[in-house]
Amino acid sequence: MLKISFSLFLFIPLLTFSGTGHTQPNPNSTSKNPTCKTPVKKQPVQKPKAGTPWLVQSDGVGNIPPDGLFPIQILDLEQKSFHDLYFGPIKNKDHYEAMMEGHFDQAGHRTIRLSKIDLTVVLSFNNLVMSLEPGPGLRTPEGTGVGSTLGQLLQAHGSYEMTSGYEDVCSVRVPQHPGVFFQYHSCEKACAGEGAYSVWIPGEHSWDESEMAPEALRSKNLQKLQMNQNELRFKQGVALMPKEEMAFSGTAIATDKNDKKVSEANYLHGQLHGDVTYFYPSGQKRLLFSYEKGKFKSGMQSWYPNGQKDLDSDFTKERCRRITKYYQDGQKEEEGIACYEQQTSKRWYKDGQLKSKEVRKEGEVIRKRWFKSGELKSKKVIQDDKETYKRWYKNGKLKKKEIREGGKVKRKCWSKKGKKKACPKKK
Please state the domain count of the chain: 3
Distance of CA 249 to the CA centre of its chain: 28
| Residue 238 pLDDT | 82
Residues 64 and 79 in one domain: yes
Residues 309 and 336 in one domain: no
- The CB-based long-range contact list for 237-240 (8 Å cut-off, 24+ gap) reads 237/205, 237/206, 237/207, 237/209, 237/210, 237/211, 237/212, 237/294, 238/210, 238/212, 238/270, 238/271, 239/267, 239/270, 239/271, 240/270
Residues 306 and 338 in one domain: no
Residues 348 and 295 in one domain: no
Is 353 part of a structural domain of the chain? yes
Of 245, 280, 315, which residue sits at a domain end?
315
Of 150, 181, 202, which residue sits at a domain end?
202
Residues 294 and 348 in one domain: no
| Residue 161 pLDDT | 94
Residues 338 and 300 in one domain: no
Is 94 part of a structural domain of the chain? yes
Residues 383 and 343 in one domain: yes
| Residue 15 pLDDT | 25
Q: Are strands 225-228 and 250-255 parallel, antiparallel or unpaired?
A: parallel
CATH number of the domain enclosing 346: 3.90.930.1
Residues 86 and 197 in one domain: yes
Q: Cβ(104)–Cβ(12) under 8 Å? A: no
Residues with Cβ within 8 Å of residue 151, at least 6 apart in sequence:
40, 41, 42, 43, 193
Is 322 part of a structural domain of the chain? no
| Residue 279 pLDDT | 95
pTM: 0.72
Residues 400 and 427 in one domain: yes
Is 93 part of a structural domain of the chain? yes
| Residue 192 pLDDT | 95
pLDDT, averaged per 10 consecutive residues of the chain (427 residues), comes to 36 28 42 79 94 93 89 89 85 76 84 93 86 96 97 96 84 96 95 96 69 42 65 80 82 89 90 92 93 83 94 81 92 90 92 95 92 96 94 96 93 94 84
Residues 228 and 155 in one domain: no
Of 161, 183, 202, which residue sits at a domain end?
202
Is 20 part of a structural domain of the chain? no
Beta bridge partners of 350: none
Is 13 part of a structural domain of the chain? no
CATH number of the domain enclosing 296: 2.20.110
Q: State the amino acid at position 86 in one-letter form.
A: Y
Is 1 part of a structural domain of the chain? no
Q: Cβ(114)–Cβ(32) under 8 Å? A: no
Is 4 part of a structural domain of the chain? no
Q: In which domain, by residue range, is 305 found?
A: 209-315
Residues 35 and 180 in one domain: yes
DSSP 8-state class, residue 132: E
| Residue 294 pLDDT | 85
